[in-house]
Amino acid sequence: MKKLTAGVLILVLSSSFVVAQAQTKPGDTLKTQEIEGVVVTALGIKREKKALGYASQEIKGDIISDAGQTNAVSALSGNVAGVQVTAPSSMGGSTRITMRGISSVTGENRPLIIVDGVPLDNSNVNSIDTQRGAGGRDYGDATFDINPDDIESVTVLKGGPAAALYGSRAGNGAIVYTTKSAKKGRTEIQFNTGVAFETIYIRPKLQSMYGGGLESSLPTADINGQTYNITDFGTDESWGPKYDPNLFYLGWDSFDPEFSNEYMKLKQWVAPKKDVDDFFRVGTTYTNNFSVSKSFENTSVRLSYTNTKINGIVPNSEIKKDNLSLNVASTLSDRLKAEGVFNYVRTQGFNRPEQGYGDNSVAQKFYQWGQRQLDFEELKKYKLANGMQRSWNRTSWDDGTPNFSDNPYWTIYENTSADERNRFFGNVGLTYNFSKKVFAVGKVYGDVYSQSISSQVAVGSAALSEYNLQKRNNSEFNYEGRVHYNDNFGDFSLNTFAGFNIMNRKWDALSGNSVGGLIIPGLYNLANSRESAIATNAFYHTSVKSLFGSVSLGYKNFLFLEGTGRNDWFSMINDDQFYPSVTGSFVFSQVLKTNWLSFGKVRAGWSQIAGYSAEPNIRGTYASIDTPFAGSPMYSMPAIKGEPNIRPEMKTTKEIGLEASFFKNRIGFDVTLYDVKTNDLIIPLPLDPANGYGFKRINAGEMTNKGIEAMVNVSPIRTDNFSWDITWNFTKNKNKLVELQGNLENYILTNAPFRAQLSAQVGYSYGVILGTDFVYDANGNKVVGENGFYKASAIKPLGSILPEYNMGFRNSFKYKNLGLSFLIDIQQGGKYFSTTHMWGMYSGMLEESALGGNREAGVILAGVKEDGTQNDILLDAPTWGSSYYNTVDAQNVFDASYIKLRDITLSYDFPKGALGGILQGFRVSAFARNLFAWNLDFKGVDPENTSYGSGNLQGLEGGSLPSTRMFGVNLNFKF
């Protein structure tokens, strides 16, 4: 930035147009100007960073796009202090993001997502069963529609003081994405193309010494007068005989005459040549982006199109996404400016893999139940000529009906799903300058999409055949107007504005389900239902009307005080709510004026803001219309009684921070301490069923979050040709549920598919896993009961899903035109419950269950008997394996810590002289993501892959696919 005298700088952002003061000092470096410079704040308004009295952090879009990211939210992991991101590597899956902990027991805990001023709906349609690990497909979040290639920058507004102007929806902070626009005086054409390859990485290790069955010898069958060894087809466990190449048997595929090569052919009892790993393929992601931008005398235009095609690691699964964006700004007169951003996105998914403990979850069939001798090359022949299934899990040798499990290839090719979302979002606005000091802004922000999801279970599957269809429509429009007044009075400066916002949101859904199975195989239509299909629909319309304002005072460019206020009137609750915030900052570097201090600021802020409840019927109690019985209509009352006088949850935030940089910005840091208290928690209070309801909504309780956010920047080396920059982000949050209501000590959030529960427990951090623990004697020894199993305690807390801290280290090197950057992402603490470990041990599938190839010796559990003597009770291997279920749940609870090489990028910009006259720039970059992971408690599960949704239900692993590594290359051409 060139030197400016005190004056007016017109700042244009695709989501706003404001007037602000900007000034530089002689000798300022570019880095200094970035620290003291202009950042995007609430409502898209650009402000001088030194004037802000709250914590915010900005990252450039290059960090997201260079690493080959397809999800603009998960890309924040490890890059921002105060933010926790859980990003499983499922194809197009959900990304869980929170800032400064959890503040609500049952409400929204995710931040507001803003793109060019548009509050972007981030709904997650995953069912409760999916989220708790009980089986289902992860359809991802609606923010998957954001195009990483279009992002110019991301500003993270971390707490109430930063985001208070957005009202109740930003009670958990806000993430503001600003997209690219045409640069003044430039015409630019860019083409970016890339390919990435995805391979399986972290998954449970399976034993390869014993085959399927429950006995140490193979069963026999008399077939056509001859006795054969066969397998225990109907069993889905692997406690069978040890592999022996001299032992021969008839396999699951030996009884179908149309497959002559296998019919009645004996096999060796050996480990398969093609095992579970061979089922998965190398996933691919192809991305192609074309953009053209042109700045005319009074008008600038940028048009961008991106095509993304993802082929998942599970065969027959894919996502196609098309993003079209138009960004236009025009100065119509000396006083009037018009601008608009328009985006169209079409996302099509096919056969997103089911995860968790479900009928169509291949992860559950591979790692929890099964027979280890199965060869996956043979399993590919999954269908008979008549269209029926060939399952390894036959009912018997002469009955091919699946007993428990489908052939995995039948699952992925016959029991499929399809989803599509068509979305328009953007804004149009006018800015009118009455004078150099006064201007007005009027904008309309819109976000409209329709989504359809269908899924099917084929006739001949182990589960009942089924067809399901869902359609959803969502629209939200925000109408906003502001009047700004900015002025200087001697040593004082004033920046102020006032405005209004009217939010209207409509949502409707239609769902249809077959009943009793399907009649005609291969026909997926509700009319093909054996019994009358069920159709349900729902609709709601909500509105929030708001007035807001802000006043910021500055003194001699080093002392700033700001106050904001917003009042919301809700359609969902009776009372309106007022949200104030007060912040201040003291730029002490302006006073000290020393050579070693480049910039220094101390800041403090306070805010009070309501938690957002999107539930439209929270006040009322409405009857449910149920499925008719024998032609007669049925009605019932809901399980939860509404409360007409319910109030929103109220969050009070106090924070203090210190920013400084030294030695011409070679060293810098930004530290924030915060204290957040949420009162009037909305919880369902259990009632006596005699009242006609199971629960009643009430305001009660208190939850606190106290923590520290820190960011450190160091540049150890900086020369004309070489630079080395280090960025460290650190977040430590202590969450506590102080109280619920009266004697109520916990609220059960959900149940795992088996055994464990997820709870909000008074006195503990949110998300406590409840289950049984070991019983210990006075010397700390585990106590073993008379049956040889560990004794189990009563139900008790086994740990919280929330981590102790998160941190990220990014190192960036630049030598002339060559760049190298890598990010280490660290999480310490937190817990998760693993259903895979529980059933994988129970069924003899996991490597540990093989006992090193000596199952025959049995197991004596380490511990003492109840009388204090050393345990000497011998358990046979299958009995020992069964002890992982229905005894001590703590055996299946693991620490969620990890250290990951999150991404690494190597890039080279070709010198302009080497490109000839056509290309203005050419860049090639290679990248890898999730390359290595260390410090895993259970080596078979990535802790991030225990999430099947972005809501509050986390940490219950029900059956996860392998996490993946990704490698890729990008080519960028500038014309």
Which DSSP letter does residue 87 get? -
CB atoms closer than 10 angstroms to residue 756: 28
The structure tokens listed for 281 are 């393929």
In SS3 terms, 835-854 reads as HHHHHHHHCCCEHHHHHHHC
CB atoms closer than 10 angstroms to residue 185: 9
pLDDT, position 915: 80
pLDDT, position 422: 98
- Residue 25's pLDDT band, with cuts at 50, 70 and 90, is very low
Q: How many residues does the chain have?
A: 975
Q: What average pLDDT does this structure show over 858-885?
A: 96
Instruction: Say whether pLDDT at 6 is over 60.
Output: no
pLDDT tens figures, 207-253: 999 999 999 999 999 999 999 999 999 999 999 999 999 999 999 99
Q: If we measure between CA atoms, which residue out of 280, 78, 347, 287 comes closest to residue 964?
A: 280
pLDDT tens figures, 341-387: 999 999 999 999 999 999 999 999 999 999 999 999 999 999 999 99
Of 25-34, 623-632, 875-884, least confident by mean pLDDT is 25-34
Name the strands in the sheet holding 695-699, side by side, starting at the edge strand that comes first in the sequence.
640-641, 695-699, 682-686
CB atoms closer than 10 angstroms to residue 538: 11
499 sits in which H/E element? strand 492-518
Instruction: Say whether pLDDT at 9 is over 60.
Output: no
CB atoms closer than 10 angstroms to residue 847: 16
CB atoms closer than 10 angstroms to residue 681: 26
pLDDT, position 26: 36
CA gap 267, 262 in Å, rounded: 9
DSSP secondary structure of 764-776 = S-SSEEEEEEE-B
Phi and psi at residue 287, to the nearest 5°: -130, 130
**Residue 64 backbone class (left: φ over 0; alpha: ψ -120 to 50; beta: rest):** alpha
- DSSP E strands in 775-829: the ranges are 783-784, 792-800, 805-815, 818-828
Average confidence score pLDDT of the chain: 91
Encoded amino acid at 845, one letter: M
pLDDT, position 612: 64
- Residue 689's pLDDT band, with cuts at 50, 70 and 90, is confident
Unique residue bearing structure tokens 């009660």: 700
Phi and psi at residue 379, to the nearest 5°: -65, -20
CA gap 570, 577 in Å, rounded: 8
The structure tokens listed for 517 are 């199975």
pLDDT, position 328: 96
pLDDT, position 731: 95
The three-class DSSP label of residue 789 is: coil
Give the CA distances from residue 818 to residues 290, 567, 823, 824, 907, in Å, rounded to whole numbers and listed in that order: 24, 52, 17, 21, 6
- Residue 616's pLDDT band, with cuts at 50, 70 and 90, is low
Unique residue bearing structure tokens 């953009």: 291
pLDDT, position 614: 59
pLDDT tens figures, 77-126: 888 988 999 988 889 999 999 999 999 999 999 999 999 999 999 999 99
pLDDT tens figures, 123-143: 999 999 999 999 999 999 999
Instruction: Say whether pLDDT at 16 is over 50.
Output: no
pLDDT tens figures, 434-476: 999 999 999 999 999 999 999 999 999 999 999 999 999 999 9
Which DSSP letter does residue 461 get? S
Give the CA distances from residue 609 to residues 324, 501, 702, 737, in Å, rounded to whole numbers and listed in that order: 36, 17, 15, 19
pLDDT tens figures, 934-943: 999 999 999 9
Residue 796 and residue 764 in contact, taking contact as beta carbons nearer than 8 Å = no
pLDDT tens figures, 893-933: 999 999 999 999 999 999 987 887 788 899 999 999 999 99
Please name the residues in contact with 775: beta carbons below 8 A apart, sequence gap of 6 or more: 782, 783, 790, 791, 792, 793
Percentage of the chain lying above the pLDDT 90 cut: 78
Alpha carbon 588 to chain centroid, angstroms: 40
- Residue 37's pLDDT band, with cuts at 50, 70 and 90, is low
Which DSSP letter does residue 887 get? T
Alpha carbon 722 to chain centroid, angstroms: 37
Which DSSP letter does residue 574 get? S
Q: May I ask the CATH architecture of the domain 52-201+282-356+415-615+637-766+801-830+896-974?
A: Beta Barrel (2.40)
CB atoms closer than 10 angstroms to residue 886: 14
DSSP secondary structure of 336-393 = EEEEEEEEEEEEEEE-PPEESSSTT-HHHHHHTS--TT--HHHHT--B-TTS-B--SS
Q: What average pLDDT does this structure show over 707-733?
A: 95
**Residue 530 backbone class (left: φ over 0; alpha: ψ -120 to 50; beta: rest):** alpha
Q: How do the domains of the chain map onto residue ranges?
A: 52-201+282-356+415-615+637-766+801-830+896-974, 767-798+831-893
pTM of the model: 0.92
pLDDT, position 7: 30
- Residue 23's pLDDT band, with cuts at 50, 70 and 90, is very low
pLDDT, position 623: 76
Give the CA distances from residue 468 to residues 398, 417, 453, in Å, rounded to whole numbers and listed in that order: 33, 9, 8
Encoded amino acid at 418, one letter: A
pLDDT tens figures, 806-831: 999 999 999 999 999 999 999 999 99
- Residue 183's pLDDT band, with cuts at 50, 70 and 90, is confident
Unique residue bearing structure tokens 């998942």: 312
- Residue 622's pLDDT band, with cuts at 50, 70 and 90, is confident
Q: What average pLDDT does this structure show over 495-504?
A: 95
Encoded amino acid at 720, one letter: D
pLDDT, position 3: 33
The structure tokens listed for 572 are 């969902």
881 sits in which H/E element? helix 877-882
Q: What average pLDDT does this structure show over 686-713?
A: 90
The three-class DSSP label of residue 813 is: strand
Residue 749 and residue 767 in contact, taking contact as beta carbons nearer than 8 Å = yes
CA gap 276, 280 in Å, rounded: 8
Encoded amino acid at 870, one letter: Q
Please name the residues in contact with 971: beta carbons below 8 A apart, sequence gap of 6 or more: 192, 193, 194, 922, 923, 924
Instruction: Say whether pLDDT at 550 is over 80.
Output: yes
Better-scored residue on pLDDT, 325 or 570? 325
Helix-strand-coil split of the chain, %, nearest 5: 10, 50, 40
In SS3 terms, 506-539 reads as EEEEEEEEEEEEECCCCCCCHHHEEEEEEEEEEE
Rg (CA), the chain: 30
pLDDT, position 401: 95
Instruction: Say whether pLDDT at 613 is over 70.
Output: no
Instruction: Say whether pLDDT at 29 is over 80.
Output: no
Among positive and negative, which fits the CA dihedral 221, 224, 226, 231? Answer: negative
Please name the residues in contact with 916: beta carbons below 8 A apart, sequence gap of 6 or more: none
| Pairing label, strands 783-784, 864-865 | parallel
pLDDT tens figures, 734-785: 999 999 988 889 999 999 999 999 999 999 999 999 999 999 999 999 999 9
Encoded amino acid at 552, one letter: S
CB atoms closer than 10 angstroms to residue 574: 10
